[in-house]
Amino acid sequence: MDITGPVVLISDLHLTAEEPSGLERFEAFTRRLQGVRQLYILGDLFEYWIGDDSAEPLGLTGVCTALKRLHDSGTEITLMTGNRDFLLGQDFCKNTGCHLLPEPAEEDISGYRILLQHGDKLCTDDINHQQHRATVDDPLWRESFLNKSFSQRHSLAQAGRSLSESGKRYQSADIMDVNQAAVEKALLNSRCSLLIHGHTHRPGIHTITLENRTAWRIVLGDWTAGPSYMCVAPEQLDLHFEGRVLSLLQSKEDHTLRLHHDA
């Protein structure tokens, strides 16, 4: 799989020392990114993160080193947090050379204005998840959590993870996907006709007809089957996942985008 664009977006790597092959895969991928102008990470880089003192005790210093090396080689790294690693903060960014990007964000990328989100906040049918997210987004909750000792935070996170794993088994496939009305609202509230998000682990490109325009929703894949990433170049957006490529190609005549499947 080729890295073709000056800007690359990834999400949902769910890196953890419990799966060393994932860490190796990420480090190898960052080496392939040398020369890329900008890397966006749209959340859930880590399976969990419980404060910026986590890297060493969680066995994740290699990831930080790989990011720092990439940054030092000239690639700008822009990081949005996800629902697993929402506690990534300024110390992590300082150590790795990343910029933190608040969610949602509208960014100018290779001539396109693109709405970026992790994606879980678009899954509005998942009421339990939205309640949990509202709790952990509260600055008072965060302050009190981060003031606990590392081992207390670790126990709480482990308990939360096992709850979330068992909870998922009882939810229907539909509930875990984005809500169409939430997607339309997010696009209408923005000046964008492109939305890129992750979280659902359902990579694909979907067209959306809004009141006044056609828009596209691009979903980044997770990394279970290998790196999934999006390259954004001035006339072409390529989504790589599971050994496939889906592309949006810009027409030379009217600058509209059309979907192209690989052979």
Q: Can you give the binding site for Mn ion, defined by CB under 5 A?
A: 44, 82-83, 199
Place of tokens 């997010």: 186
- Nearest distance from C-beta of residue 178 to Mn ion, angstroms: 12
- Nearest distance from C-beta of residue 14 to Mn ion, angstroms: 8
CA distance 19 to 40: 23
Q: What are phi and psi of 54, to 5 degrees?
A: -80, -30
- The token duo for 125 is 């049918």
- The token duo for 211 is 């009141």
- Nearest distance from C-beta of residue 204 to Mn ion, angstroms: 16
By beta-carbon proximity to Mn ion, the closer residue of 30 and 83 is 83
Q: Which residues contact 199 (CB under 8 A, 6 or more apart)?
A: 11, 12, 43, 44, 82, 83, 118, 119, 120, 122, 123
Q: Provide the angle, in degrees to the nearest 10, between the axes of the packed helices 139-146 and 127-137.
A: 70
- Nearest distance from C-beta of residue 148 to Mn ion, angstroms: 23
By beta-carbon proximity to Mn ion, the closer residue of 83 and 117 is 83
By beta-carbon proximity to Mn ion, the closer residue of 121 and 199 is 199
C-alpha torsion angle, residues 10, 12, 15, 21 (rounded to 10): -80
- How many residues in total does the chain contain? 263
By beta-carbon proximity to Mn ion, the closer residue of 83 and 96 is 83
β-pairing verdict for 38-42 and 76-80? parallel
By beta-carbon proximity to Mn ion, the closer residue of 44 and 126 is 44
- Nearest distance from C-beta of residue 126 to Mn ion, angstroms: 11
- Nearest distance from C-beta of residue 119 to Mn ion, angstroms: 7
By beta-carbon proximity to Mn ion, the closer residue of 95 and 164 is 164
Q: Which residue's Cβ lies closest to Mn ion?
A: 199
Answer whether 80's CB lies under 8 Å from 10's CB.
no
